[in-house]
Amino acid sequence: MLMNFWQGLKQNKKPFFVLAPMADVTDAAFRSIIVKYGKPDVTWTEFVSADGLCHPKGREKLLKDLEYSEAERPIVAQLFSSNPENMRTACKLCAELGFDGIDINMGCPDRTIEKQGCGSAMIKTPERAIEIIRAARLGIIDAGKNIPLSVKTRVGYSRDEIDTWIVKLLSEKLDALTVHARTRKDLSQVPANWNYISRVVALRDMLAPNTIIIGNGDVSSINDGIQKAKKTGADGIMIGRALFGNPWIFNRDVSIKKQGSWRQSFFLRMLPTSWAKKIMGDSKYTISDIPLEQKLAVMVEHTRLFEKMLGDVKNFAVMKKHYKAYATGFPGAKELRIKLMDTKNGNEVQQIVDEFLNK
């Protein structure tokens, strides 16, 4: 395994922090906002169908998901497929597009993805998963490139399978392995168990010492990630849901708001995630201490970028999940959210924000 950007991060920035790939969230517009206000050490595209990239009818739209700027480097393209031939072809394309690395999604719990034998379903077909990994490597070679290959997965499907599934992946000597500290069955209904990550790191040290381990699951802030890395030995930390409405999360120069007392945190950890959300809403995750006017201005900026970059291929309704996150935690937030849910374009969003701030 040759030196690559993963090894450089491990040596110089442990723990490093990376952007989680999330469908209809970490698109080109949101990544542009994140890079501007708090650049992570590595950015990821949202996951893209390798099968779709191999068909002329779907390729043009999917290529929009693979657009990126130089400011986002190092950037990793994430693909999914259960077809080795298509994975090889798609990896060749991504390598030729200049990505710094390629990642294979073997952890997404979405039923539509699983019906294709992809995402978390790969955990149930480990031999096919290995075929996909080896096909991806061939695709990179076909492109005449030597970029790193990684996998993102979970600790098992319906139970802990670290000693079988994770060992199988480590045997492939991946450049990096991101492990979500839950099973597929867990979804997000129970807290992430970072003791799993400690076990993965121990196995890595024995079986594949050059493979970078990235922990994922319920990371609320940079400080939280640092503590989780110290506890588990993970080389890097991936942040996902805490990004919503908070593109400053990777910016260490921005202070954060306190999220309740330690007693609240202690008791909330004992509850299912869905219950905790009902009790505290988004306060489970860190909120950057940004003035309200600036936060709403960035929301409008995000909207304008979405229209400019993706308005011809994605429904404007995609932005609504972001509005729920931007407009929270301040007086009048609920009323503002209700109005934002009815918007159809950036001009309407701008008008509603102006009216809210000037009332």
Residue range 289-328, pLDDT digits in tens: 789 999 999 999 999 999 999 999 899 999 999 999 999 8
Catalytic residue among 91, 94, 108, 118: 108
54 is annotated as an active-site residue: no
pLDDT at 264: 46
pLDDT of 280 above 70: no
Instruction: Quote the pTM value.
Output: 0.90
pLDDT of 181 above 60: yes
Q: Determine what percent of the chain is predicted with pLDDT higher than 70.
A: 90
Q: In terms of DSSP H, where are the helices of the chain?
A: 5-12, 28-38, 50-53, 56-65, 84-96, 111-114, 126-142, 167-170, 195-207, 222-232, 262-268, 273-280, 292-310, 320-326, 333-340, 346-358
Specify the DSSP element, H or E, that contains 212.
strand 212-216
- Report the SS3 class of residue 178: strand
Q: Which of 302, 306, 325, 319 is nearest to 36 (CA)?
A: 302
Strand blocks (E) in 24-119: 43-44, 48-49, 75-80, 101-106
Cα separation, 152 vs 108, in Å, equals 9
Q: Which of 12, 56, 70, 33 is nearest to 243 (CA)?
A: 33
